[in-house]
Amino acid sequence: MTGDLLLRGVEIRGRLVDCRIRGGVVAEIGPHLRVGADELVVRGDGGALLPGLADHHLHLTAMAARDASLDVSAVPRADLASVISRAAVDGDGWVRVVGHDDVVHGDLDLDAWSPAVPVRVQHRSGALWLVNSAGLERLGAAAAAHEGVERDGSGRPTGRLWRADAWLREALGGRPPSLRAVGARLAALGVTHVADATPDPGAAEVLADAVRRDELPQHVMVMAPDPAPSTRSTRAHPRLSIGPVKLVVADHELPPLDDLADRIRRAHTDGRPVAVHCVSRTALALTLAAFDLAGGREGDRVEHCAVADPAAAKELALRGILVVTQPTLVALRGDDYWARVEPEDRPDLWRYAGLLRAGVQVAPSSDAPYGNPDPWACLRAATERRTPSGRVLGPDERVPAETVLRGLLSPLENPAGPARRITVGHSADLVLLDRPLTDALHAPDAGLVRATIIGGRIVYGA
């Protein structure tokens, strides 16, 4: 819905006011504003009007692809073979499966379960694909040059594809999935700004096309190491921006220290900070050493930081490296993390408050589709720290809802910076709740979102 708007009776920073939107920007804020000609009036009924929420780390195309896949995350091991063998094929003749858990499901015998139909199964982390023999033949994996195609001692593909999404997409020859449903879902949650953490070359072009087609109404920051054409197309649209370069420190194959430092230097030379994927204690130590060799740049960040002891937190703070974390992963998988990590790592799992106490700047995010994209669930998870079994994972790591909200309101280019504010003359990227902010933070829920506005356009509700 487009046109001039008058939001009547909304709470902005504790005051009950009206807010006028003209030409896509906030034009006037004050009590009892007169309705203008051809102006749509939206009743606020005292609900809080906030800047739109930001998700500082997600994967948009993976979200769309997951919606079109068979999710086996809740399927017991005993039923997995029958579920996959009876699964329907997609339009390209494949069975696409997500949510595999190696501990829960064990080893997969895909050739026995589906010998003739190509099958690919994604590990729940998103880092690994398992492909049966029919699928490997369809992909031409035997002749593939991609380093992520794992091979046995004789050089034959094992069926394990590590971080090979871009190669897989090219080998499949398919079009990227539509992102329209993903954009609508995020809008319904009050999300107006997203940072796509997909590290594949060419990801920026896919997202730029989706924004230009208005499949994604959100402001989108891309973190892919893009070639020049994608860079130009990204800058050509007001809702697209270029963020840090996403680098992956994969625990199954840690990069040499010098190589990681060189990649950091190249990104800095190109004028971009880096966002380094670190999950384990070892990966974080390697990353800190690489920063010491390469030097730092404002905006450098570590993604996930799933294990960080107090000494590592202090080192992050000393170097000015911020952390983008995912509170909902504790709510979704906290029991698994507790059971699988080394006992000495348990006190340092998915720290939040502890990082803040050490002086590290921290911002929340979802890592969707591997985490929950609902920012209101993120608020609950960060304040409660409850696992599926009800255990409080790190009670000292709980963070007040107000602190988490500030991170959700921070700019994409500065995730741990000051929260964006509703200001006259600025773009009208807003979320209207159905109650005052204090009440909303007491019981955060996606159902509180009454309307979402991006660039002065109502993209959800009202």
343 contacts: CB under 8 Å, gap ≥ 6: none
The per-residue pLDDT for 232 is: 54
User: What CATH code is assigned to 54-61+184-419?
Assistant: 3.20.20.140
Q: Which residues contact 329 (CB under 8 A, 6 or more apart)?
A: 337, 350, 367, 370, 371
**What one-letter code names the amino acid at 202?**
G
pLDDT of residue 393: 96
DSSP secondary structure code for residue 48 in this structure:
B
Span(s) in the chain for CATH 2.30.40.10? 1-52+420-462
**pLDDT value for 45:** 97
**Model-level pTM?**
0.90
Highest CATH level, class, for 1-52+420-462:
mainly beta
Distance CA 33, CA 265 (A): 53
Q: Please list the pLDDT of the chain residue by residue as tens digits (462 residues).
A: 667 999 999 999 999 999 999 999 999 999 999 999 889 999 999 999 999 999 999 999 999 989 889 999 999 999 999 999 999 898 788 999 999 998 889 989 999 999 999 999 999 888 899 999 999 999 999 999 888 999 999 999 999 999 888 888 888 887 778 999 999 999 999 999 999 999 987 888 899 999 999 999 999 999 998 754 544 555 579 999 999 999 999 998 899 999 999 999 999 999 999 999 999 999 999 999 999 999 999 999 999 999 999 999 999 999 999 999 999 999 999 999 999 999 999 999 999 999 999 999 999 999 999 999 999 999 999 999 999 999 999 999 999 999 999 999 999 999 989 999 999 999 999 999 999 999 999 999 999 999 999 999 999 997
Residue ranges, comma separated, of all CATH 3.10.310.70 domains in the chain are 69-172
Residue type for position 414: N
Exposed e or buried b per residue across 1-29, where buried means at least 16 C-beta atoms within 10 angstroms of its C-beta: eeebbbbbbbbbeeeebbbbbbebbbbeb
The full 3-state SS of 50-62, as one line of letters, equals EECEEEEEECHHH
Does the domain spanning 69-172 belong to CATH 3.40.50.150?
A: no
Q: How far is residue 19's CA from residue 9's CA, in Å, rounded to a whole number?
A: 8
Q: What DSSP string describes 115-133?
A: SSS-EEEEETTSSEEEE-H
Q: What angle do CA 68, 73, 77 make, to 5 degrees?
A: 125
Cα distances from 146 to residues 5, 151, 157, in angstroms, run: 52, 11, 11
